[in-house]
């Protein structure tokens, strides 16, 4: 039997469960996850290699109505993945009904003429009757190549989803080495771990206002010394992130340090600094500098 390989863009509204799904399919954490919308900012490739097939999943930022330049860049990252893939996996939160956000995604999809698999997620929260109703509704929305109900969180029906995706991958050899699970650098992954811990511990505007960059990376014997900057766009946010007597930043540092240690299987010392770059989310050069706009800006 011949080998198949190709790109699958996992798209959807913020919080639909894109990153949870991708990590569950890969059985490895390649994308950070949180209950805050717009957790994912970059297109992240997660690579799953099987004996006769290689899936390259693109986890994309949630498509939303942008308020800032950063929001426009995030949407653009998602649209590019949709244009460049072999198959689109549109994931929706099954507990929510079809809304204007979905309408917007639909309009984009209609222009692309690609196979679209509708993934009805969070069925662990849906009584069977509601799930059937929802499936019927989605069938009327578009001529989907397939519709697959799943729970990304409970890893329910994921084998079926992989079998469905496979139908739409072209014949061809592996696109990446079989041992590779992500296309992002270690630096990117380490900064994302820190950002995830910030998202988990903070509320309101903070999660959307931060960027994390690596300032220095040094190895001494076995130990790794990392210095990172957390960028925020207002002085008041700096105060919140540092917290009372430094309690918040200490907690974030310890959470992140623990996960980085586990990931790298070696001793790690992490230092974090909070810097204010006023209104950075509206500055194209800063968005690029912080690694969020990987693409040429053509609109």
Question: Any bridge partners for residue 44, and if so which?
Answer: 59
208 binds ligand GTP (CB under 6 A): no
Question: Any bridge partners for residue 164, and if so which?
Answer: none
Q: Are 69 and 283 in contact (CB under 8 A)?
A: yes
User: Which strand (E) or helix (H) includes residue 254?
Assistant: helix 247-264
Nearer to ligand GTP, 4 or 23 (CB): 23
153 binds ligand GTP (CB under 6 A): yes
Left if phi > 0, otherwise alpha if psi is -120 to 50, otherwise beta: which for 193? alpha
Nearer to ligand GTP, 25 or 53 (CB): 25
Binding window for ligand GTP (CB under 6 A); candidates: 37-45, 50-58, 158-166, 250-258: 37-45
131 binds ligand GTP (CB under 6 A): no
202 binds ligand GTP (CB under 6 A): no
DSSP string, 64-109: ---SSHHHHHHHHHHHHHHHH-SEEEEEEETTS---HHHHHHHHHH
Minimum CB distance to ligand GTP, residue 131 (Å): 12
Radius of gyration of the chain (CA): 20
Binding window for ligand GTP (CB under 6 A); candidates: 1-9, 13-21, 140-148, 184-192: 13-21
Minimum CB distance to ligand GTP, residue 37 (Å): 5
Annotated binding site for GTP: 12-19, 59-63, 121-124
40 binds ligand GTP (CB under 6 A): yes
User: What are the structure tokens assigned to 140, written together?
Assistant: 């009327």
Residues 6+ apart with CB under 8 A from 242: 248, 249, 274
- Of 70, 125, 73, 135, residue with least CA distance to 98: 135
Among 6, 46, 62, 71, binds ligand GTP (CB under 6 A): 62
260 binds ligand GTP (CB under 6 A): no
Nearer to ligand GTP, 21 or 268 (CB): 21
Q: Give the binding-site size for ligand GTP (rule: CB under 6 A).
A: 24
42 binds ligand GTP (CB under 6 A): no
User: What are the structure tokens assigned to 213, written together?
Assistant: 């960059």
User: Nearest-5° angle of CA 100, CA 102, CA 108?
Assistant: 110
Among 4, 5, 15, 49, binds ligand GTP (CB under 6 A): 15
Q: Which parts of this chain interact with ligand GTP (CB under 6 A)?
A: 12, 14-20, 33-35, 37-40, 61-62, 121-122, 124-125, 151-153
């Amino acid at each position: 039997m011949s080998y198949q390989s190709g790109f699958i863009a996992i798209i959807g509204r913020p919080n639909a469960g894109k990153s949870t799904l991708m990590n569950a399919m890969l059985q490895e954490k390649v994308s950070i996850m949180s209950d805050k919308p717009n957790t994912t900012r970059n297109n992240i490739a997660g690579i799953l290699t099987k004996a006769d097939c290689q899936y390259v999943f693109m986890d994309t930022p949630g498509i939303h109505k942008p308020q800032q330049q950063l929001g426009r860049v995030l949407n653009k990252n998602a649209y590019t993945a949709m244009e460049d893939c072999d198959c689109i996996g549109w994931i929706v939160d099954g507990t929510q009904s079809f809304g204007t956000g979905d309408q917007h995604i639909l309009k984009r999809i209609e222009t692309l003429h690609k196979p679209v698999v509708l993934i009805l997620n969070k069925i662990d929260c849906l009584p069977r009757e509601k799930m059937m109703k929802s499936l019927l509704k989605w069938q009327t929305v578009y001529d989907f190549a397939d519709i697959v109900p799943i729970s990304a969180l409970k890893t329910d029906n994921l084998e079926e989803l992989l079998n469905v995706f496979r139908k739409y991958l072209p014949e061809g050899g592996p696109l990446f080495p079989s041992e590779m699970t992500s296309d992002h650098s270690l630096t990117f992954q380490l900064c994302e771990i820190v950002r995830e811990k910030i998202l988990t511990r903070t509320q309101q505007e903070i999660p959307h206002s931060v960027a994390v960059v690596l300032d220095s990376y040094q190895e001494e014997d076995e130990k790794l010394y990392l210095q990172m900057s957390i960028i925020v766009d207002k002085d008041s946010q700096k105060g919140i992130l540092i917290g009372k007597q430094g309690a918040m930043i200490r907690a974030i540092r310890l959470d992140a340090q623990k996960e980085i240690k586990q990931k790298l299987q070696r001793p790690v010392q992490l230092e974090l600094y909070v810097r204010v770059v006023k209104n950075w989310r509206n500055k194209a050069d800063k968005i690029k500098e912080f690694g969020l706009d990987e693409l040429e800006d053509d609109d």
